[in-house]
């Protein structure tokens, strides 16, 4: 698969997200790492953003609350190459009514090869990496051109079956019937 290179700037754009039960952990983590986070452009969703703005004395740009479209706003920013990393402290033991939004956000982050930290340990590893403090080129699969001019059934080795109506139409048009390998000429 063809890859394209997307340059991440030296000053990374990081979004901080925390489910309700994890907001305290996010605030503690962010306070402990404030000196490092101050080097980045910070974003957050809903209440997490508001709490971080109050707690850190740093400017955190706010998206809507996750369930009210914030997760989708973050996904859109990733697709437009306007975010570089996600720190997402999710509550692994609770069911969330917007879990499909969370899944979509994580999927888009994987598609665009965005670093994702889902707990304090992975967040510590991420922000302490030397790569976070320099330009970095991430490789992303070129999905825009991956399937151009390729019929999906052929791509996956699936034999395409024509419906009876389609077979009749193709025979009437003088096309080959793939089921019988016969051609009928137009009258």
Find out whether 182 and 174 touch, Cβ atoms under 8 Å: no
H or E stretch including 79? helix 70-79
Q: Are strands 60-63 and 41-45 parallel, antiparallel or unpaired?
A: parallel
Find out whether 50 and 43 touch, Cβ atoms under 8 Å: no
39: DSSP letter: T
Q: Give the bridge partners for 53, in sequence order.
A: none
Give the largest CA-CA distance in the chain.
81
H or E stretch including 24? helix 23-32
| Dihedral sign for Cα atoms in the order 77, 99, 28, 124 | negative
177 Cβ partners below 8 Å, 6+ apart?
A: 162, 167, 170, 171, 183, 184
Among 20, 25, 57, 71, the one annotated catalytic:
71
- Active site includes 101? no
For the annotated catalytic residues, the residue numbers are 71
């Amino acid at each position: 698969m063809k890859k394209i290179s997307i340059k991440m700037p030296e000053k990374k754009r990081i979004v901080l997200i925390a489910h309700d039960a994890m907001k305290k952990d996010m605030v503690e983590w962010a306070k402990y790492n404030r000196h490092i986070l101050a080097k980045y452009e910070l974003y957050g969703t809903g209440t997490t953003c508001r709490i971080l703005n109050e707690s850190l004395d740093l400017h955190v740009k706010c998206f809507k609350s996750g369930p009210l479209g914030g997760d989708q706003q973050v996904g859109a920013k990733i697709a437009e190459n306007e975010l570089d990393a996600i720190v997402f402290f999710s509550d692994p033991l609770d069911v969330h009514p917007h879990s499909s939004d969370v899944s979509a956000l994580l999927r888009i982050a994987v598609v665009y090869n965005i670093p994702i930290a889902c707990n304090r340990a992975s967040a510590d590893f991420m922000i302490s990496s030397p790569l976070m403090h320099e330009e970095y080129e991430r490789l992303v699969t070129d999905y825009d051109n991956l399937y151009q001019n390729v019929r999906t059934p052929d791509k996956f080795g699936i034999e395409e079956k024509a419906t009876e109506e389609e077979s009749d139409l193709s025979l009437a048009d003088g096309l080959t019937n793939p089921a019988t390998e016969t051609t009928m000429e137009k009258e």
